Chain A
Amino acid sequence: MGNALLEMRSISKEFPGVKALSDVSLVVNSGEIHAICGENGAGKSTLMKVLSGVHPYGSYSGEIVYQGLPCRFGDIRASEHAGIVIIHQELALIPGMSITENIFLGNEPRRWGRIDWKAANHQALELMRLVGLNEDPDTLVKDIGVGKQQLVEIAKAFAKDVKLLILDEPTAALNENDSRHLLDLLRGFKQRGITSIMISHKLNEVEAIADAITILRDGRTIETIRVAGGDVDEDRIVRGMVGRDLQSRFPEHEPKIGEVFFEVRDWTVRHPISAERLVCKNSSFTVRRGEIVGFAGLMGAGRTELAMSVFGRSYGVHLGGKIFKDGREVEIRSVAEAIRNGLAYVSEDRKAIGLNLLDDVKTSVVAAKLSKITRHGVLDEAAQYHEAEGYRQSLRIKTPTVDEPVTRLSGGNQQKVVLAKWMFTDPDLLILDEPTRGIDVGAKYEIYGIIQRLADEGKGVVLISSELPELIGLCDRIYTVAEGTITGEVARRDADPELLMKRMTSTRSNA
C-alpha cells in the first residue's frame, strides 16, 4: 500500500453558471477499493467524467497523474486504453444483443477483418466465469436480470484489460443478494490487484468494503478517510457529506391512525405480454387514514406491478379483484379515474416515467390535475405559478424560481417536484414507489418528513422500498411481498430486518 496509482490534483471544472468542482484532489492507492461519497450534486460524477475523459483535457483545470505519468485524456477511448473503465449507473448495454456481443461491443476480436465469433464466445465464457455469471453467452441481455446485466458490464470492462475500475452507484438497482455478490466480486478483484473506485449512497456497503473513503461536498474534497486506521462509522461519513450532524435518520413522528378507508381484495394481474405469467396473485391489503403502510420485497417480487395495476390498471392485464374506498366498491379502469378517486402514484423511475424532462418546475407540478388551474377552459398561468411557488416553499425545493427546467434540479429536488405534482392532485392515498432511490441523505430526511406530514393530514401512504431500514423506520405496518403474493403482515413493533427478509424470501409458506 501507499503507492498511488492515481492522483488527481486540484481539479476544477466549471459549467456555464455553475462551479461543479473546485480544487478537488483524490489519491487512489494501487490495489484498494476507494469509495467516493457525497450528496447528489456534490461533484462525484463530474469528477469521474473528468477522469475518464468524458470531459476532455482542456475543459478542466488541474492535473491527473496515473501510474506515475501525467495524463491528458481527450476522450473516453483514451482513458480506456490506459485501463481506466467506468461503469455508469445507467447501464450501457444493448438489450437486443447477446452477452458476448455486448461484452465485445466496440472491442471485437478480429481475424482478417472479420469478427471472430468463436474466439469471442470463448473469451466471453472466460470473462463470465471471472465475474461469476452463469449464463449462456448467446442469451440476449434483455432476458437477464439487472443484477446479471451489471455483471455483463463488469465483464465488458475486463475485456478491455481494466486496471482501474470505476463503478457509479453499482448496487442502486440491485437487490440484497445481487449486491452482496457484487461486493464479494470487488473484494476478489482487489486480491488480483485491480483497483476500484466506487461511488455509492449506501453507507453500510461503503463501510463494509472500502479501504479509503473520500467525501465530497459542494464540489470540494472534505476529507479522505483511510479505513486502516479503524475508526470509520456511518455518522462520520454522513457528517462529512451533509456538513452537519444528523441526530436521527428519521424525523420524530407520532402517528395518528384512523379507520380503514382503502382496501384491495384478491387482486390478480397477469403480465402484459406473456399470458400465463401472473405478476399479482390474490393480493389483499388495507390502508388506514393517517397510516404509512410499507411494502417490502425483493426486486421483481411484484410490488411495483401491484401498485401500478391498482393505480388505474396502468400495468398488466387485470384478471380479478376489487377495490373498496370508504367502504364502497370503486371501479378504477384508467389513470384519470384513479386520480379522480383520490389515488396518486409516485413512480420509482422519476426520469423515465415520472416527469417530462422538457418541462419546467411549474408545469410539472400542475401536470396531473390541470383542471385545478383551468378557468373556462383556459389555463390560469398566475394560478399555476402560485401553486408551484407554494410547493417550492413548503417542500423546500431548491431552485431559484419555478420557471427553471426540471433537468437543472438535483435528484432529490426532482423527487420533491414529483411529490408536489401528486400532492397537487389532493389524493387520499399516495403510493410512493422507491421515493428515495438515488437521492442523498439530507434530501432523504426531508422526504421522510414530507411523507409523515402527509400521513398526519389524514391521507393514507403506501411506501414501497427496497431499503429495509427505511421501511422499519417509517412505516406503521409492513406487508411483505414475494413472487406476486403478499406473504406476511408485520406491525411496527415486530418489524426487524431478519423477520422481514425471511418473509420476503419465503414464497409458498404463508401464501
Chain B
Amino acid sequence: MSRIRDLQKNLFGGTTSNARQFGMIFTLVAIIVYFQIATNGLTLTSGNLIALTQQYAYISILSIGMLMVIVAGHIDLSVGSVAAFVGIVVAKAIQEYDVPWPAGIVLGLAVGALIGAWQGFWVAYIGVPAFIVTLAGMLLFRGGNQYIGNADTVPVPEGFRTIGAGYLPEVGPATGYNNLTLLLGLLLCAAVIWREWRSRQVRLQMEGAEPAPLWISVLRLVIMLGVIVFATLRFAGGRVGTSFPVSGIILAVLVIAYSFYTRNTAGGRHIYAVGGNARAAELSGVQLRRVNFLVMTNMGVLAALAGMIFVARSAASGPQDGLSWELDAIAAVFIGGAAVSGGLGTVSGSIVGGLVMAVLNNGLQLIGTGSDKVQIIKGLFLLGAVALDVYNKQQGRFSIVASLTRPFRREDPPAPAAPPAPSPTGSLSRK
C-alpha cells in the first residue's frame, strides 16, 4: 500500500465518513492561506481570530444540532426563529420580571426544550414531515418573538453578556499571555496525545486489524499539536483583557460532548441507523419515534442556547435576531459531508464545514467584498462543494478525498489485461 493512500486512509480516522473530512480540511487550509496572503496577514491575527470565534460560535452550536437532525433524515428550518423567540423571552424575563440572569439561562434552555418537544411531537408521533413542521415553526416563533417584544429590542444585563461577549479572566503571573488560555491549550494538547495513544491501543487489541502506521500517528500528532499551540498563542496573546472567548469554550465543550455521544453511545448510533434505513432500524429494536422526538427536542435546546449567546453578544434581543441562521447551519452540515438523505455525517465535519464558511465570509469582508458578492460566492461554494462530493460518489469513489488525491492513485493498477490489439475501443476513448 502506498504512503499516499495510507495517509489518506488514516490521517483523519480510518472510516470513509471520516475520510471525507480530509478534503474539507484541505479546503479550509487552502482558504485560510489564501486569505492570509490576500489580507496581508490580517486573517490570523489575534483580534480577528477572537472575533471570528465569537461571531460564529452560535452558528456552530446550531450546526451540531442540525447535524443530528439531518443524519436522522429530517431538516429544521425553524432554528433562527426559535433562537430569536427564546432570546426575547429570556431578555424580557430578566428585564421586566427581575429574574436573575443564571436562572434566565435555565429558563431559556427549558423554553427551547419545550419548543423542540412541540416540534418533535408533530414529527415523531403524528408523522408530519419535519420540513413542514419547522416551516410552520419558523413563522410561529418569528411571530412570537415580535409579539412578545412588540417588535422592539430589549437589553440584557452585564452578567448575562458573559456567555456571548465574555473572556477568560486574567489570573496568575504576568507572562504576557492570558494564563488560563495557555492552560487550556496545554490541557488540549495532553488530551490529543492521550486520545491518539488510546485509539492505537484499541486498534492494536483488534487482532487482524491493521493499526495506522506509526509515522502517520506521529505526523497527525505533530500537525494537531502545531495547530493547537499556534491557536493557543494567538488566542492568549491578544489585546489585554481578551482571550479565548467564553462562547468558544461553550462550543468546544458541546463539540466534544456531542462527538462522543454520536460516535460512542448506543443513542448516537441509533440516530445514524434511523437515517440510514428507518425500517431496518425499527426491526432491529430501535424506537424510531423516540429517536426522532429526541433529535428535534435537542435541536430546540441548542437553538435556544445559540439564541441566548447571540443576545448576550449583541447586548440586546431584537426582532431581526436569527434571520436565515437555519441556512448557515444547514450549509455547514452539508459542506461538512452529511448526506441529504440522512444516515451520514459527523459533528466534527459540520464544525469544519462551518469554519470553512466562516473563514470565507470573514476573509471576503476583510478584503472589502460587498455583502452582495459575499452571498453569491458562498452560494456557489456550497453548490460546488456538495456537487463535487455527489459526483465523486457516483464515480464509485469516496468523496472529495479521492478527487484530490486521484493523480497519486495510479501506483499499483491491477495489471490490465492487454486489450485485444486492433480493437478501436480502448484507444479511442473520449479524450
Contacts and interface: CB of A to CB of B under 8 A. Distances in A.
Interface string A350-388: 001111111110010001111100100111011001100
Given A17-B414, A62-B423, A334-B285, 7 more contacts: A19-B417, A57-B425, A312-B285, A347-B283, A356-B281, A359-B273, A374-B265
B240 interface: no
A442 interface: no
A382 B205 contact: yes
B321 to A, nearest CB: 36
Contact of A353 (B206, B208, B280, B430): B280
7 pairs of A and B residues whose beta carbons are closest in the complex: A356-B276, A370-B266, A58-B429, A368-B284, A385-B206, A336-B285, A61-B419
B208 A389 contact: yes
A482 interface: no
A335 interface: yes
Contacts of A382: 202, 205-206
A379 B272 CA distance: 14
A370 B269 contact: yes
Contacts of A19: 414, 417
Interface in A306-345: 311-312, 314, 334-336, 338-339, 345
A282 interface: no
Contacts of A345: 283
Contacts of B172: none
Nearest to B397: A16
B267 to A, nearest CB: 9
B239 interface: no
Nearest to B402: A16
30 contacts: A9-B420, A10-B420, A12-B417, A14-B414, A22-B417, A23-B417, A57-B425, A58-B429, A314-B282, A314-B283, A335-B282, A339-B284, A345-B283, A352-B280, A356-B272, A356-B273, A356-B280, A357-B276, A357-B277, A358-B272, A358-B277, A367-B281, A367-B284, A374-B266, A377-B265, A379-B263, A379-B266, A389-B206, A389-B208, A403-B209
Interface string B268-280: 0110110011011
**Contact size range, A:** 35 or more
A60 interface: yes
A15 B272 CA distance: 28
A405 interface: yes
Contacts of A14: 414, 416
Interface of B: 14-16, 202, 205-209, 263-266, 269-270, 272-273, 276-277, 279-287, 339, 343-344, 396-397, 414, 416-417, 419-420, 423, 425-426, 428-430
A62 B425 contact: yes
A139 interface: no
A334 B287 contact: yes
Nearest to B204: A382
Contacts of B264: 378-379, 381
Contact of B420 (A16, A62, A355): A62
Overall SS of chain A's interface: mixed
A125 to B, nearest CB: 37
Interface in A19-68: 19, 22-23, 57-63
A12 B209 CA distance: 33
A354 B263 CA distance: 22
A358 B343 contact: yes
B244 to A, nearest CB: 28
Contacts of A60: 425
Nearest to A337: B285
Given A335-B285, A379-B269, A385-B206, A15 B396 contact: yes
Contact of B344 (A16, A355, A358, A374): A358
B205 to A, nearest CB: 4
B265 A58 contact: no
Contact of B265 (A314, A338, A339, A379): A379
B189 to A, nearest CB: 24
A358 B266 CA distance: 17
B408 to A, nearest CB: 14
Interface string A389-423: 10000000000010101000000000000000100
B420 A61 contact: yes
Given A356-B273, A357-B276, A358-B343, A403 B266 contact: no
Given A14-B414, A385-B206, A356 B430 contact: no
A224 to B, nearest CB: 19
Contact of A355 (B277, B416, B419): B277
A300 to B, nearest CB: 20
B425 A367 contact: no
Contacts of A311: 283
B196 to A, nearest CB: 15
B16 A405 contact: yes
Given A353-B283, A403-B14, A363 B269 contact: yes
B343 A61 contact: no
A62 B416 CA distance: 13
A358 to B, nearest CB: 4
A387 to B, nearest CB: 11
Nearest to B284: A368
Interface in A47-101: 57-63
Contacts of B269: 363, 367, 370, 379
Nearest to A378: B264
B277 A356 contact: yes
Nearest to A359: B276
A334 B284 CA distance: 10
Nearest to B273: A356
Contacts of A357: 276-277
Given A356-B343, A358-B276, A389-B206, A61 B423 contact: yes
Contacts of B419: 12, 61-62
Contacts of A352: 277, 279-280
Nearest to A72: B425
Contacts of A12: 417, 419
A306 B99 CA distance: 59
Contacts of B416: 14
A110 B400 CA distance: 44
Nearest to A353: B279
A354 B280 contact: yes
A310 to B, nearest CB: 13
Interface in A183-218: none
A61 B55 CA distance: 56
Nearest to A21: B417
Q: Which of B209, B272, B286 has the most CB of A within 10 A?
A: B209
A499 B392 CA distance: 55
Nearest to B279: A353
